[in-house]
Amino acid sequence: MSAADVSTAPSRAPLVSRTVRVDDPGDMLAHLPRHPVGSSLAWLRHDEGLVGWGEALRVDVGGASRFTDAAAAWSDTLAHAVTRDEVRLPGSGPVAFVSFSFADRSPAGGVLVVPETVLGRRGDTWWLTRTSVDGALPDTVPPGPAEDVEPPGQVRFADGAHPGPEWAHRVAQAVQRIRAGAVDKVVLARDLEARTAQPMDPRWLLRRLAGSYPSCWTFAVDGLVGATPELLVRRDRGLVTSRVLAGTIRRSGHDDRDLALAASLARSSKDLEEHEYAVRSVAGALGPHCSGTNVPEAPFVLHLPNVMHLATDVTGTLASDAPGVLELAAALHPTAAVCGTPTGAAADLIDELEGMDRDRYAGPVGWVDANGDGELGIALRCARIDASDPRSLRLFAGCGVVSGSDPEAELAESDAKLVPMRDAVSGG
């Protein structure tokens, strides 16, 4: 674990984790207390999932080995841990939240955090997990509702690394390189800066995103907050799932018009080409770890409040020796949906044309439990709050570029993808 900071690894007393069933606590986000920016943890969809707070253990990782270092640190932690789990569902017992940078060389690196407290829900079952760091059996007193969330006040937005027209020019350069045969597809991202009058409380963003985008996975890990529609990988008791999104069209706000737009998206050769690259990359990465996989012949159209995507759910039955969800994420990342095809050439073109550090944007984010099960999404539709200055945020969006891409249309698509976070930050 040469690249991991394991100064907090269990060399002292082991972690002691205790999980009990609890009555329906209502809105789980309402129990999330105010903490420093990086200590609010969440993974929610349709009012199910996990919220956590406090740090029983934190491991920082970096470089190309960040996934394997995090997996090794988690394995070592569990080897020394004491666990009492009365629920025994994926996500109960000791859980770690994780977030990783998109690029190997990014200083953002990655993090694995074991919360002191977790509230979880799966179906009609709710549970509470407490983890202590002193070797003592923790209490299981249910938390009460937390204090109110203060709004961030007036918000100013500004261009990030590149103004819109300059970014569109870079898309045009990418199209030229694709037509010259350098790559088949490349994904280019852009950022937007936000400045709030008051320090941003992550709970403000979480509540707004979960309310507006219930079918997305709303997340918070280490100051990275968002609502992603794309599931990189779910490992659930021998089954594996990945939801692939590639190909996007902006909604009009009128039902009849949106149905026509959805039909045009499903027939678009440009978008179908982009989607095929992404599905192929995911199926190819999962295949060696599965005894069987299912890849639908055609995508469906996923309707979100602001955009529609071509989507495919790739599923499989894991082989008996299949690794945990962190190792599966390492095998999948980066997919063609956030990098391009071929992967190496697309990554090189991103370095050349994008002109910014993606930070944790488009990297895996989610959770892992003691059995290696868990869910990791791709960190899209997200913002990173500056821990040293919580009034400062970076918002991110990206678009897949293929030979038929139009730079101005890609710029408009990126604007549409920024809407969820712009609205969540500003209260729009």
CA 242 from chain centre, in angstroms, equals: 13
Query: Residue range 63-69: average pLDDT?
Result: 97
In one-letter notation, the amino acid at residue 274 is E
- In this prediction, residue 286 has a pLDDT band, given cuts at 50, 70 and 90, of very high
Nearest to 20 by CA among 155, 183, 160, 129: 129
Check residue 4 and give its pLDDT.
46
DSSP assigned state of 33? -
Does 253 or 391 have the greater pLDDT score?
A: 391
Average pLDDT rounded to a whole number, residues 102-120: 97
Residue 395 has pLDDT above 50, yes or no: yes
pLDDT, one tens digit per residue, over 148-199 is 898 999 999 999 999 999 999 999 999 999 999 999 999 999 999 999 999 9
Per residue in 356-374, pLDDT (tens digit) is 999 999 999 999 999 999 9
pLDDT classification of 8: cutoffs 50, 70, 90: very low
Amino acid at position 405, single letter = S
Whether residue 45 has pLDDT greater than 80: yes
Average the pLDDT over 315-341 and give the result. Answer: 95
Pair 102, 36: CB distance under 8 Å: no
Q: How confident is the model at residue 2 (pLDDT cuts 50, 70, 90)?
A: very low
CA–CA gap between residue 337 and residue 340 (Å, rounded): 6
How many of the other CB atoms lie within 10 Å of CB of 252? 12
Output the average pLDDT for the chain: 93
Q: What is the pLDDT of residue 346?
A: 97
In this predicted structure, what is the pLDDT of residue 142?
A: 81
DSSP run (H or E) holding 171: helix 164-179
pLDDT tens for residues 90-106?
Answer: 999 999 999 999 999 99
The predicted structure's pLDDT at residue 6: 47
Which segments of 299-362 are extended strands (E)?
Answer: 300-303, 307-318, 340-341
The CA–CA distances, whole Å, from 388 to 4, 105, 122, 181 equal 22, 22, 35, 44
The residue to which tokens 């990173």 are assigned: 384
- What per-residue confidence (pLDDT) applies to 146? 81
**pTM, 2 dp:** 0.93
Q: What is the pLDDT of residue 173?
A: 98
Q: Is the pLDDT of residue 342 over 80?
A: yes
* Residues known to be catalytic: 185, 230
Which pLDDT belongs to residue 137?
Answer: 81
What gap in Å lies between CA 391 and CA 211, rounded to an integer? 23
- Contact between 184 and 342 (Cβ < 8 Å): yes
Q: Quick: pLDDT tens for 213-234.
A: 999 999 999 999 999 999 999 9
Q: What is the pLDDT of residue 295?
A: 95
